[in-house]
Amino acid sequence: MSYSPRSVPSHKQLIYDCIANLGPVAKAELLEAHDITSSTMTRLLDEMAKEGLILVTGLGPSKGGRKPLLYQVNPDHRYIFGLEISRFTSTLGLFDMNMNQKSVVRWRMDVTMTPERLVDHAVGMMLAFMKDHAIAPERVLGLGIGAVGPLDPGSGVIINPKYFPAKDWEQVPICLMFEEAIQLPTMLENGANTALVGEHWSIRHENVEHALYVSAGVSLRSAMMSYGRIVYGKVDTEGSIGQMIIDVDGPRLGDSGNYGSLETFASVQALERQVRTRLKLGGSLLPNHSSVAPEQVNLDTITSGLNAGDPFITEMFHQSASYFGVGLANLINMFHPELIILGGALINANPMYYRVATDVAVKKSYYSEAYLPEFSMGQLKEDAVVTGAALMVRSRMKL
């Protein structure tokens, strides 16, 4: 049975999550964070300790009386798989309950990686990880998937993502496929959301409540968090930031979407189209790839030209980053987050992209002296999606 991505957690689950995020932690600190009686807190802690969910790890400093017991999550109580399904690469990770990464593997998403082959490959690696770490199937809590959308998390279906190299990625019941293949509860979530959950967890001691995650790659993806919780809309918001209109008289990227949209000016697809057009017109680009035909141009060859100092590619990267910064400013002016985390292929291609985009975003953001957003490329980076997917499984386990 699939997990519900938006179920309401119980008191026991909330306390467990608090221990997982803050531990080692004393009972008094837990009482400050939860509106329950001391006797109820004691009962729940005793229950979780007897069930092996948490451990008593010692005594904390005294505040005038007896030293308090300190509680932390038992890392080896269960294990969780996290899976990222993306356009270029996919990643599988095995985690303990403290989100320590036990094993991880990545693979290319080429023209042969259909949904059926991906499930077969991932299940094979999951079984290998369990064997390597001597983990029985009943000790695995479940599988969390962070995927490129649009998707329907409630039914566990990937609907119709664009730009996958392989065919048959429309209306894919991915949760059912994994559950039938390996008999593990599986949940599906937008990869941008799981990336933000993962990155937020990595800085959990900094008390950031309002955050924004934006990925600039083949498409533009975003996620918002308010008071520590992901903000959802009526439907999956995959790619919606890319349809933000920044030039009412502008072109559009393909045969669908908005004219003058952000993705038309700030995406891998837009950069590739610009370079291909230049080459077809007889331009001299990509000095290290002089034999590359226009239709063979991709981000790798473009980045090579950038690193070689090609002036036109440098100008295109700068322009793309500037447009991306405008899009960030629009989001910031609407939401005013404390932290904006940026990721994706373009952000990672060259430091210039991040620098230009954040400079433009700051200059075009409206804020008082009391508000100045912080920008980051994140702590987990390429492991953010799988970590967040595993965290979402942990937060939805039934206690």
**224 and 364 belong to one structural domain:** yes
- Whether 1 is in a domain gets the answer no
Examine the domain organization and report whether 87 and 162 are in the same domain: yes
Q: What is the pTM of this model?
A: 0.90
Percentage of residues in the chain having pLDDT higher than 90: 67
Alpha carbons 220 and 245: distance in angstroms, whole number: 13
Is residue 194 located within the same domain as residue 316? no
Query: Does any domain span residue 6?
Result: no
Query: Is the domain of 243 the same as that of 363?
Result: yes
Residues 228, 147, single domain; the answer is no
Residue that terminates a domain, selected from 73, 104, 127: 73
Domain of residue 180, CATH code = 3.30.420.40
Instruction: Give me the chain's average pLDDT, please.
Output: 90
pLDDT exceeds 70 at position 284: no
Q: Answer yes or no: do 218 and 140 share one domain.
A: no
Note down the domain range covering 28. 11-73
Task: Give residue 307's pLDDT.
Answer: 86
Tell whether 4 is covered by a domain. Answer: no
8 A C-beta contact, residue 159 and residue 149? yes
Provide the pLDDT confidence category of residue 43 given band limits of 50, 70 and 90. Answer: very high
In a domain, 5, yes or no: no
Q: What is the pLDDT of residues 247-266, one digit of tens each?
A: 999 999 888 889 999 999 99
Please compute the mean of the pLDDT values over residues 126-138 and round it to a whole number. 97
pLDDT greater than 90 at residue 124: yes
CA 64/CA 2 separation, integer angstroms: 48
Give buried/exposed letters for 294-330 (b at 16+ CB in 10 A, else e).
Answer: beebebebbbbbbeeebebbbebbebbbbbbbbbbbb
In a domain, 90, yes or no: yes
Instruction: Pick left, alpha or beta for residue 374 (phi over 0 → left; psi -120 to 50 → alpha; otherwise beta).
Output: beta
What total number of domains does the chain contain? 3
Of 23, 56, 73, the position where a domain reaches its end is 73
Q: What value does the mean pLDDT take over residues 21-45?
A: 90
Q: Which two tokens stand for residue 159?
A: 């609907």
- CB under 8 A, 24+ apart: contacts of 238-244: 238/148, 238/149, 238/150, 238/151, 238/161, 238/190, 238/192, 239/149, 239/150, 239/162, 239/263, 241/214, 241/327, 241/331, 242/267, 244/327, 244/330
Which CATH number fits the domain that encloses residue 37? 1.10.10.10
The residue ranking higher by pLDDT, 271 or 125, is: 125
Pair (115, 47) in one structural domain:
no
Residues 332 and 360 in one domain: yes
pLDDT of residue 3: 41
Same-domain check for residues 55 and 153: no
Q: Is 2 contained in some domain?
A: no
User: Is there a single domain that holds both residue 162 and residue 226?
Assistant: no
CA 351 to CA 321: how far, in whole Å? 11
Query: Residues 165-188: pLDDT tens digits?
Result: 999 999 999 999 999 999 999 999
365 shares its domain with 288: yes
Domain final residue, candidates 73, 106, 127: 73
Q: 109 and 69 in one domain?
A: no
Q: Which pLDDT band, with edges at 50, 70 and 90, does 288 fall under?
A: low
More confidently predicted of 261 and 395? 261
Q: Above 90 in pLDDT, residue 72?
A: yes
Report, as an integer, the average pLDDT of 308-328: 91
